[in-house]
Structure 1
Amino acid sequence: MNPVTAQTRAMGVEVLGATRRFGAFTALDDVTLRVRASTVHALLGENGAGKSTLVKGLVGYGLLDDGEIIADARQVKIASPRDAQTLGIGMVYQHFTLAAGLSVEENLLLARGRLPWRVDWPKERAALAAFMRSMPFRLPLDAPVSGLAAGEKQKLEILKQLYLRQRFLILDEPTSVLTPQEADEVLGLMRDLATRGELTVLMITHKFREVMAYADDVTVLRKGKLVGTSAVADTSRDQLAAWMMGGDAAVDDPELAAIRPTRKPCEDNAPVRLALSTLSVVDDRGHTAVRELSLAVRSGEILGVAGVSGNGQKELIEALVGQRRVQAGEMRVKGEPYRATRAEMSRLRLFALPEEPLRNACVANMSIAENLALRDFDRAPMKRHGWVLDRRAMRARAERLIADFNVRPPVPARAIGTLSGGNVQRAVLARELGQAVDVLIVANPVFGLDFASVADIHARILAARDAGAAVLLVSEDLDELLELADRIVVIAEGRLVHETPASGADRVALGRHMAGHVESTGRDVSESIAVHA
């Protein structure tokens, strides 16, 4: 592509005075966003800040009530996704939209939307091969999508948009399923395309590192309103955090100081609270998802489990909390055999914050107070005279826990399913940490939550660790593990393949192991991890 053409390819987009209402609720309130052509522009904001509402207006999935959209210096109307595509505006969604049973070339052709009754395959393959040769990254056209790695699938999603000759690309949390190396490669390629004038990128992300490393400009929304816009070179992480949280507080929020503990290393002679030995678990299709996994977690320690989604983490957590049967191997808690029954969890004081707690740890249409009593509703003081639920005692404890864990709104009778994601997490943590805890199982605890909720929940997990709990933390966010964990292990294809102290962890090495790009050492890493016991 010659320089003159390249400079005319990327498209600048402006949204002026955008407003969107849902009944009495204003999701977007007079927001103006200007994305310069040939730049990467980051869009930040807490959950519910209006980011999704804004970009839906740009891609035609939700009409704005008020406001104007300017593309290529002219006012346009976007009433449908086809309008957006015609203008050259495309979007790569957080979750893949690929046809897994088809090949790369078939997915590219499907992206066009309109195909002849009979496809001229020799002609189409020649055109696709020429297209692929012109791209900054390539995939085999005949490769089945089902066999692609997560990073390759993300590249295919981007290739689909480039194949459609889109000039303005919206990326929604583009690195949430990628290893660090894959994330850097994909964002680096987006940055290169923008620098060369071939594309303009609007990137929705919650990772400050990505903003500072790859974006030219950044805009922050809060509660449906524009808080600030700046060149990345003229701002800082602390300033962005303050904009997101709605005050002068930076990353270290003073309101959390009272519950944020001072971190201390785990004692080498601390007792092992959770031990797994050659554990194997099958998935829903009957395939082995966790393969002879062994690990040990001591009192006062957070063991972080890193890995790309789909490598056995889900099945491991479900086995630990009694939602999936163990195929082989042994689980022990505080030295005793453990089969994840409700009685054992209560007696051994093992509690959990599973992923998607509203689906996996709550009953949505029951009240907050009732959900807080799920662990012990059948024991005193929640039960009296052998069978009668003491609603007064249930409410009194709920009021105390709601206050202690800052659950909003503080209404015990309110259905828990009506709360925001962060408040559901706080309510579940209140139930699980509102008593003495010896083992805490946590899975992706802050996915999709706002900045303040993330800081609060992280502080609660650290406080449990420093109170003596053994914490197993499974997260797909490597930054989260590096911040919280004492040790990190990597799971790939259901096996533990790497272990390192978090303080000396090498991000590149972790990413290589997460991607499975390692040489065999002749010894299952699970063996050395188990020796830690």
Structure 2
Amino acid sequence: RRAIDVFFERMPFRLDPDAPAVSLAAGEKQKLEILKQLYLGARVLILDEPTSVLTPQEADEVLSRARALADTGALTVVLITHKFPEVLAHAREVTVLRGGRNAGGGQVAGLDANALVRMTFGERPMAATTEHEERPTGVPYLELRGLSALNDRGALAVRDLSLSVASGEIVGIAGVSGNGQRELVEVLAGQREPEAGEMSVAGQPYHRTRKEMRTRGVCLLAEEPLASSCVRTLSVADNLALRDFDVAPFARAGGLVDRKAIEQRARTLIDRFRIRCAGPQARVDTLSGGNVQRTVLARELSGDVRLLIAQNPCLGLDFAATGEIRSRILEARNSGAAVLLLSEDLDELLELADRIVVMLEGRLVFAIDRRRASATEIGRHMTGHHAAPATP
């Protein structure tokens, strides 16, 4: 244990060494994997999107430490990332893959971001994304007052949290993984009971029932969608029908399910959301991560969307999937939906959100309008520097 404590003193971040690994949030698990390999003295370290859930300061410290170890010859690092600034700041040599093939590369000192973009996407212009329309927000659609919730170990994870999200507005919640975000989403999804507080949707008490979610247009894009938003042994068509298989036109009299109607709708959504699969009857767990997310996106956004709750919707996805999902979120907002976006990717929040609040140790500690926000300032509050109670 002493050796671990000494090791943590040299690391840019640490975890509770007594916490069960199964209780860690996705971002904490990613940190654990990095720490484990460094602690074990690995000579070759392959990092696949290692900074997607870290603050900018943590990301820079992690990659700077890896760079320093590589410079001494103690470590060989392969960094897989879609973030060009990380490549330009920390790599010495880069190879760009496009469609599974080597699309170019070279010494980083002789390249810039524009060159990397051309290699990544080719000479064709990138497809335009949905614009962030300037529009007045409506009345609050989601309201949380004094909400508290426990984590799996019985400790307070969400502490006296109050927040409102108006129709036509994206409120982004920034925070280092493990600060209560998962528990908050699980409470809103009906997967975890709150300890205290009130919730309302559309001005009415919100009890998180399946019927309420359907009638009030509450939709959810959860973290790790295959585990939390799908039945992995069911087909794509059946997963697309989880919200409404028991109502017309998919349910017949006597409780029977119209399989033909479900498959026809699935084919339409597969085409509309560009889900790459062998067909409607393909098991959802045979799909790539991006296509699992597209499946959940198609199910949640194909109906009447009035409140969208999304947690790390683009985590680990490629450029194409990320751009598409962000566009769909903006389309929902521009159509008048209230959007609560929890993300550990500050670039994502700065691109999409109208307001950004920071969640630290289960509390909202900082709030700012997107137009005045900076990643550095938000990152300081995410790590506990200059934290003051927010007024969201």
TM-score by length of 1: 0.66
Is 1:248 equivalent to 2:123 in the alignment? yes
Give 1:240's aligned amino acid: L
Name the SS of the counterpart of 1:352 in structure 2. Answer: strand
- Cα deviation, residue 373, structure 1: 1.2
User: Aligned pair in 2 of structure 1 residues 235, 447: CA closer, same or farther (>3 Å)?
Assistant: same
- Cα deviation, residue 344, structure 1: 0.5
Is 1:494 equivalent to 2:362 in the alignment? yes
Q: Taking CA–CA contacts closer than 8 Å with sequence separation of 6 or more, which of the two structures ends up with the larger relative contact order?
A: 2
Q: Contact conserved, 1:104 with 1:144, CA < 8 A, in 2?
A: no
User: Aligned pair in 2 of structure 1 residues 407, 184: CA closer, same or farther (>3 Å)?
Assistant: same
For 1:48-447, list aligned pairs within 5 A: 102-105=1-4, 138=10, 145-146=17-18, 160=39, 164=41, 169-194=45-70, 200-245=76-121, 247-249=122-124, 253-254=126-127, 257=128, 260-268=129-137, 270-409=138-277, 411-447=279-315
Give 2:227's aligned amino acid: R
Name the SS of the counterpart of 2:149 in structure 1. Answer: strand
TM-score by length of 2: 0.88
Give 1:138's aligned amino acid: R
User: Aligned pair in 2 of structure 1 residues 365, 168: CA closer, same or farther (>3 Å)?
Assistant: closer
Deviations 1:175-195 (CA, angstroms, capped at 9, x unpaired): 234321122223234444555
CA distance in 1, matches of 2:32, 2:276: 38
- Cα deviation, residue 401, structure 1: 1.2
Q: Contact conserved, 1:402 with 1:410, CA < 8 A, in 2?
A: no
Deviations 1:41-100 (CA, angstroms, capped at 9, x unpaired): xxxxxxxxxxxxxxxxxxxxxxxxxxxxxxxxxxxxxxxxxxxxxxxxxxxxxxxxxxxx
CA distance in 2, matches of 1:384, 1:463: 33
- Cα deviation, residue 167, structure 1: 6.1
User: Aligned pair in 2 of structure 1 residues 177, 357: CA closer, same or farther (>3 Å)?
Assistant: closer
Is 1:461 equivalent to 2:329 in the alignment? yes
Name the SS of the counterpart of 1:428 in structure 2. Answer: helix
User: Aligned pair in 2 of structure 1 residues 299, 198: CA closer, same or farther (>3 Å)?
Assistant: same
User: Aligned pair in 2 of structure 1 residues 266, 323: CA closer, same or farther (>3 Å)?
Assistant: farther
CA distance in 2, matches of 1:315, 1:394: 32
What is the RMSD computed on CA atoms of the aligned residues? 2.9
CA distance in 2, matches of 1:158, 1:397: 46
CA distance in 2, matches of 1:417, 1:154: 24
User: Aligned pair in 2 of structure 1 residues 229, 427: CA closer, same or farther (>3 Å)?
Assistant: same
Q: Which runs of 5+ in 2 are unaligned?
A: 20-26
Q: Contact conserved, 2:132 with 2:352, CA < 8 A, in 1?
A: no
Deviations 1:360-387 (CA, angstroms, capped at 9, x unpaired): 1111121211111111111111112242
User: Aligned pair in 2 of structure 1 residues 382, 265: CA closer, same or farther (>3 Å)?
Assistant: same
Deviations 1:112-171 (CA, angstroms, capped at 9, x unpaired): xxxxxxxxxxxxxxxxxxxx9xxxx8369xx97459x9799788557636xx4x665544
- In structure 2, the residue matched to 1:59 is none
Q: Contact conserved, 1:366 with 1:415, CA < 8 A, in 2?
A: yes
Identify which of 303, 310, 317 aligns with 1:449: 317
CA distance in 2, matches of 1:154, 1:421: 20
- Cα deviation, residue 229, structure 1: 1.9
- Cα deviation, residue 428, structure 1: 1.0
- Cα deviation, residue 199, structure 1: 5.2
Residue-pair matches, total: 382
Name the SS of the counterpart of 1:389 in structure 2. Answer: coil
- Cα deviation, residue 261, structure 1: 2.5
User: Aligned pair in 2 of structure 1 residues 177, 460: CA closer, same or farther (>3 Å)?
Assistant: closer
CA distance in 2, matches of 1:155, 1:214: 17
CA distance in 2, matches of 1:193, 1:388: 62
- In structure 1, the residue matched to 2:24 is none
Give 1:232's aligned amino acid: V
Name the SS of the counterpart of 1:417 in structure 2. Answer: helix
CA distance in 2, matches of 1:261, 1:417: 29
Q: Contact conserved, 1:266 with 1:299, CA < 8 A, in 2?
A: no
Q: Which runs of 5+ in 1 are unaligned?
A: 1-101, 109-131
Give 1:286's aligned amino acid: G
- Cα deviation, residue 249, structure 1: 3.9
- Cα deviation, residue 289, structure 1: 0.6
